[in-house]
């Protein structure tokens, strides 16, 4: 039973404490300063920052790595992105999606991401994207936890079959029901789509993660519909509102009222600052909106907010490397969360707050008895990690060293 044991020496924890950490059979069995020497392999962490792994709470793995296929997004809008993806998805095969999804997950894992919630488009009749992501979820399960959202990109009522496709996808084993109310043809259909999402989630006992109000239109108010349904059904923290960029455009009187409802609802929020700073504000001249939800105010209100990349090289965003610190870095800028507590909060939004969004807290975190999934950053603190976005030196998944990366070394030659 000792073959999986490991002791990590000289770990700098997030709270600044220096400890040793023991791993046995994939679990954390002790965290304390200065363990005695035991006949167990050791790894000297040398005072580097030991953190729970990054959580990527919102990414579209089905479209990842397709930028330019069949063309690049010239307007930079969500709508042109949906159109391009609509063309690209005509040619999907299981292998096509699986290869790109796996490559992206490896890219993420190498940089310390061990928990992922992916969106999977369910608005093409073959459900190829969803099937592929369900297979990938299974294939990586020994080293990464993946959740799949059945996401009706073209609207639940955007085509005659879409409602049925969504239900079929949920029955096939998606973890969460998705939606896109602001993209439905009318406001009424948007409201109906939210009702349908909650109906399906209750019927199949699923989480909910809705693309909600991802538009600059200050009249797009589906967030209140989602929050009210979360209260009425008791689904609460099992519900997530993704994007909610229109919240950045609501008047303050309405935002104040809404905040009260959101607090009662206990729903989670996901902001995707890299993408929404580029997709939104496209119809503005100047001043140009930032196109992001009220991350700082939601956080101040005690609501759970996490951050996602949304895209890596796809029709909506041609950049992206899989580095969650880039995401937190952008949030700090766009949301003006530059205070020290705010910077720490943004780090938490790509780690522990992401775990809360995914509802995986039982298997997440650095505590005795939890799975030994952790990362070691070439940094001293959360602030230092965000500022420099340094190398993730070690990625340990359930006690197993999954990835190791050497930091770059500069050689001066004066």
Judged by the rule CB under 6 A, the positions of this chain that interact with ligand 17E are 60, 78, 153, 180, 211, 214, 275, 310-311, 316
CB of 254 to ligand 17E, least distance (A): 23
Beta carbon nearer to ligand 17E, 316 or 364: 316
CB of 78 to ligand 17E, least distance (A): 5
Contact 89, 121 (CB under 8 A): yes
CB of 321 to ligand 17E, least distance (A): 16
Q: Which does 393 bind (CB under 5 to 8 A by kind): ligand 17E, Fe ion, none?
A: none
Q: How far apart are CA 58 and CA 325, in angstroms?
A: 14
Q: Which does 394 bind (CB under 5 to 8 A by kind): ligand 17E, Fe ion, none?
A: none
CB of 153 to ligand 17E, least distance (A): 6
Helix (H, G, I), strand (E, B) or coil at 43: strand
Q: How far apart are CA 386 and CA 303, in angstroms?
A: 22
Q: Does 184 bind Fe ion (CB under 5 A)?
A: no
- The contacts found for 339-347 with CB under 8 angstroms, 24 or more apart, are 340/383, 342/296, 342/299, 343/382, 343/383, 343/386, 344/382, 344/383, 345/299, 346/307, 346/386, 347/382, 347/385, 347/386
Helix (H, G, I), strand (E, B) or coil at 210: strand
Q: Residue 406: how many CA atoms within 13 Å on its side-chain side?
A: 3
In degrees, to the nearest 5, what angle opens at C-alpha 386 toward C-alphas 383 and 388? 105
Per CB under 5 A, contacts with Fe ion among 284-313 are: 310
State the DSSP code for 189. H
CB of 60 to ligand 17E, least distance (A): 5
Q: Which does 373 bind (CB under 5 to 8 A by kind): ligand 17E, Fe ion, none?
A: none
Contacts with Fe ion, 310-339, as mask; x by CB under 5 A: x-----------------------------
Q: Which does 247 bind (CB under 5 to 8 A by kind): Fe ion, ligand 17E, none?
A: none
Q: Residue 228: how many CA atoms within 13 Å on its side-chain side?
A: 10
Any idea which residues carry the catalytic annotation?
214
Q: Which does 153 bind (CB under 5 to 8 A by kind): Fe ion, ligand 17E, none?
A: ligand 17E
Residues that bind Fe ion (CB under 5 A): 310
């Amino acid at each position: 039973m000792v073959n999986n044991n490991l002791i990590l020496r000289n770990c700098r924890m997030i709270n600044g404490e220096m400890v040793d950490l023991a791993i046995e059979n994939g679990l954390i069995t002790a965290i304390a300063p200065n363990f005695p020497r035991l006949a167990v392999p050791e790894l000297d962490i040398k005072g580097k920052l030991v953190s729970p792994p990054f959580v990527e709470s919102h990414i579209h793995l089905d479209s990842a790595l397709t930028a330019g296929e069949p063309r690049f997004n010239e307007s930079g809008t969500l709508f042109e992105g949906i159109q391009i993806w609509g063309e690209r998805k005509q040619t999907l095969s299981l292998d096509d999606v699986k290869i790109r999804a796996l490559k992206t997950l490896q890219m993420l894992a190498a940089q310390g991401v061990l928990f992922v919630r992916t969106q999977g488009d369910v608005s093409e009749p073959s459900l190829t994207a969803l099937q592929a992501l369900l297979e990938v979820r299974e294939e990586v399960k020994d080293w990464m936890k993946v959740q799949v959202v059945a996401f009706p990109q073209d609207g639940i009522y955007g085509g005659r079959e879409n409602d049925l496709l969504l239900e079929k996808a949920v029955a096939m084993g998606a973890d969460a029901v998705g939606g896109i109310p602001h993209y439905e043809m009318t406001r009424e259909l948007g409201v109906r789509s939210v009702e349908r999402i909650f109906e399906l989630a209750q019927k199949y006992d699923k989480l909910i993660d809705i693309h909600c109000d991802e538009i600059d239109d200050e009249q797009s108010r589906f967030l209140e519909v989602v929050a009210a349904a979360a209260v009425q059904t008791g689904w609460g923290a099992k519900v997530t509102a993704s994007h909610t960029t229109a919240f950045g455009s609501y008047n303050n009187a309405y935002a104040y009222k809404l905040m009260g409802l959101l607090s009662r609802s206990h729903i989670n929020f996901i902001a995707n600052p890299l993408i929404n700073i580029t997709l939104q504000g496209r119809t503005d001249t100047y001043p140009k909106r930032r196109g992001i939800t009220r991350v700082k105010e939601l956080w101040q209100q005690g609501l759970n907010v996490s951050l996602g990349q949304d895209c890596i090289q796809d029709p909506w965003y041609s950049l992206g490397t899989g580095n969650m610190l880039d995401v937190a870095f952008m949030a700090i800028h766009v949301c003006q969360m530059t205070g020290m507590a705010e910077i720490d909060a943004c780090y938490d939004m790509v780690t522990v707050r992401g775990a809360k969004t995914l509802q995986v807290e039982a298997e997440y975190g650095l505590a005795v008895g939890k799975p030994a999934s952790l990362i070691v950053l070439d940094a001293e603190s959360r602030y230092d990690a965000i500022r420099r976005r340094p190398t993730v030196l070690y990625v340990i998944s359930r006690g197993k060293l999954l990835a190791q990366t050497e930091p770059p070394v500069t050689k001066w030659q004066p």
